[in-house]
Amino acid sequence: MSGMVREKQKADRNQYIFWNIIATCICVASPIPLLVGAFSEQEFLITLLLTVTMVLAGIGACIFVVNCSIWTSMQKLLKEGDYTMEAKRKNRKMGAFSVVYWLILTAIYLAWSFSTNTWDKTWIVYVVGGVIYAALCVVWELVMNREK
C-alpha cells in the first residue's frame, strides 16, 4: 500500500507545486480589483470590484484546500512530515500548552475589560499575547530540538 501511495505522491508532486503557485498568485492578486476601484467614486463599481476580490480570494482558497488535502492525506498515510510519531508527540504537547495559554490570556482580557470597562483598549491583550505566543513557540521548538 505504501508503495502505491509513494508512486502517486511522486507522480503528483509537480501538479501539487503548480496548483500551490497558482493559488498563491490568485490570493496575492485578489485585492487588485478593489484597489483599482478605490480610486473610483461610483459606489456600484466599488461594490462590484469588492465582489470580484472576494470571488478571487475564494477561488484561491478552494484551490489550496483541494490541493493540500490530497497531498496531506498522502503524507498522513505514509506518516511523513507533520504525521511522524515524533511530530505527533510534539504537537500533542504544544496543543496542551496552547489551550492553557489562550484560556489564561482570555481570562486576563475579560478580567481587565470588566474591571476597567475599557473594551476599546483592552483588546490589545490579544495583540501582545499573539506576539508573546509566537516567541514562546520558537523557544518551545528550540527546547524540543535540544532534547534530541
Nearest-angstrom CA–CA distance, 37 and 116: 41
**SS3 assignment, position 121:** helix
Which ranges of 38-123 does DSSP label H, i.e. alpha helix? 43-78, 85-116, 119-122
Kindly report the pTM of this predicted structure: 0.60
Q: Residue 129: left (phi > 0), alpha (psi -120 to 50), or beta?
A: alpha
User: Would you state the torsion angle of the CA atoms of residues 34, 38, 41, 47, taken in this order, to the nearest 10 degrees?
Assistant: 20
Distance CA 37, CA 139 (A): 44
Q: In this structure, what C-alpha cell is assigned to residue 41?
A: 467614486
| pLDDT tens, N- to C-terminus, the chain (148 residues) | 778 888 888 888 899 999 999 999 999 999 999 998 888 888 899 999 999 999 999 999 999 999 988 888 888 888 887 777 877 777 787 888 899 999 999 999 999 999 999 999 999 999 999 999 999 999 988 887 776 6
